[in-house]
Amino acid sequence: MFVLHLILTVMFAFLTWIFWGLYHQEKLSYEFQQQGKPVTITVNGYNDAKKNWTDYLGNIKYISFTYKGKTYNTRYTQDSVFVTEGTKLTLLYNPSSDAFRQPSKEIYSSKNNESLLIGWTGVALLSPLHKSLLSFLLVALAFFFLLAGLLARIPGLYVITSVAGFVFSVLLLAGVVYVSYDAFNYYRYYHHIKNTGEKQQVTVLDKDVYYLYNDNGNNGNFDPFRYVYTATVDFKNNDRTIPVSLHDYNSLQKGSRLNVYYDTTLNDMMAADYSINPSIFIFSALLWLITIIILSKRFRRKKT
């Protein structure tokens, strides 16, 4: 067990380093998106040499070019354009740092054509920068607890166990508060569409069942703890996947007309008779119960 523990600790130390690098890259991308302006340049030269570990994850070239009489170099990922001398590219130029950067795609992207009410998670509302920071913190916390477990084996460092226990209690409480806040945001998001959304009619293209966890199929009965019934509809010549009621799911066919609420500010929609999913609220209540039991046991153990 000690060897496995040690391997996991080393692995998560490496992952923490990787996720910190991803966060740093997302932070740079955010700065360029906020301050940068698009500039079209002509490539004068390029280099295929790998300069850091992330270069091995994609088709990377380091390009050189001239802008306003000055030579610049920057990293470029060849995704849809093969870069050679003379290739014209559009990059972002940040005047404050006098540097160029390729416009980035989100590392943590979401489905823009799917309603957030399907498989709701408040993380989807976060910016790519905050998503990358959250991912780094989660991996770093896992590394912290694994490292604390190793250090606790050393005689005289038993205080590490108390520190780790205190951190665990704080994180457990913070986690259940977040889940409750997430449930509240889901409630607000649903009612925002319901109360302020514009009622429209759309054409149904397909229907499906979204499983909240792996399942062998449903029995035709409404079960909000396992399924969200969905329909793919045509909205302004774009496919959109939205939540629908069980009645809609059973009655809709391809080409059927469906009443929906569309919220322009959220750019989201749902079927007009779709009801709020209660499972997230019950899950939050259960987490509060479990957290109270765990923390009360830890408090009683400390008193004795």
| Mean pLDDT value across the chain | 86
How far apart, in whole angstroms, are the C-alpha atoms of residue 287 and residue 293? Answer: 10
Which strands make up the sheet holding 88-94, listed edge to edge?
70-77, 60-67, 37-47, 88-94, 99-101
Angle among Cα 88, 56, 109 to the nearest 5 degrees reads: 70
Q: What is the mean pLDDT of residues 228-237?
A: 92
Please say whether the beta carbons of 67 and 89 come within 8 A: no
Residue 284 pLDDT more than 60? yes
Do the bridges between strand 268-271 and strand 257-263 make them parallel or antiparallel, or are there none, so unpaired? antiparallel
Q: What is the pLDDT of residue 212?
A: 60
How far apart, in whole angstroms, are the C-alpha atoms of residue 222 and residue 205? Answer: 22
Q: What is the pLDDT of residue 217?
A: 47
**To 10 degrees, what angle do helices 128-151 and 2-35 make?**
160
Q: What is the number of alpha carbons within 13 Å of residue 17 lying toward its C-beta?
A: 8
Instruction: Please tell me the pTM assigned to this model.
Output: 0.67
Least confident piece of the model among 23-32, 120-129, 209-218, 271-280: 209-218
Q: What is the largest CA-CA distance in the chain?
A: 76
Q: Is 278 helix (H, G, I), strand (E, B) or coil?
A: coil
Q: What is the mean pLDDT of residues 201-217?
A: 76
Q: What is the pLDDT of residue 159?
A: 81
**pLDDT band at residue 303 using 50, 70 and 90 as cut-offs:** low
Residue 143 pLDDT more than 50? yes
What is the chain's length? 304
**pLDDT band at residue 302 using 50, 70 and 90 as cut-offs:** low
Task: List all residues 6 or more positions away from 290 whose beta carbon is below 8 Å from its beta carbon.
Answer: none
Q: What is the number of alpha carbons within 13 Å of residue 252 lying toward its C-beta?
A: 26
Least confident piece of the model among 104-118, 151-165, 178-192, 211-225: 211-225
Most confident of 72-81, 115-124, 165-174, 209-218: 165-174
Q: What is the DSSP string of 12-26?
A: HHHHHHHHHHHHHHH
How confident is the model over 87-139, as pLDDT tens digits? 999 999 999 899 999 887 654 444 568 999 988 877 767 778 888 999 999 99
Domains in the chain: boundaries: 2-101, 192-281
Q: Which CATH class is domain 192-281?
A: mainly beta
Portion of the chain with pLDDT greater than 70, in percent:
90
Helix (H) / strand (E) containing 179:
helix 159-196
Residue 46 pLDDT more than 50? yes
How confident is the model over 165-191, as pLDDT tens digits? 889 899 999 999 999 999 999 999 999
Task: List all residues 6 or more positions away from 269 whose beta carbon is below 8 Å from its beta carbon.
Answer: 115, 193, 197, 200, 202, 235, 240, 242, 260, 261, 262, 263
Q: What is the mean pLDDT of residues 24-47?
A: 90
Q: What is the mean pLDDT of residues 34-38?
A: 90
Q: What is the pLDDT of residue 205?
A: 95
How far apart, in whole angstroms, are the C-alpha atoms of residue 207 and residue 231? Answer: 4
How far apart, in whole angstroms, are the C-alpha atoms of residue 94 and residue 76? Answer: 16
Q: What is the pLDDT of residue 279?
A: 84
The more confidently predicted of residues 272 and 127 is 272
* Amino acid at position 109, single letter: S
How far apart, in whole angstroms, are the C-alpha atoms of residue 11 and residue 18? Answer: 11
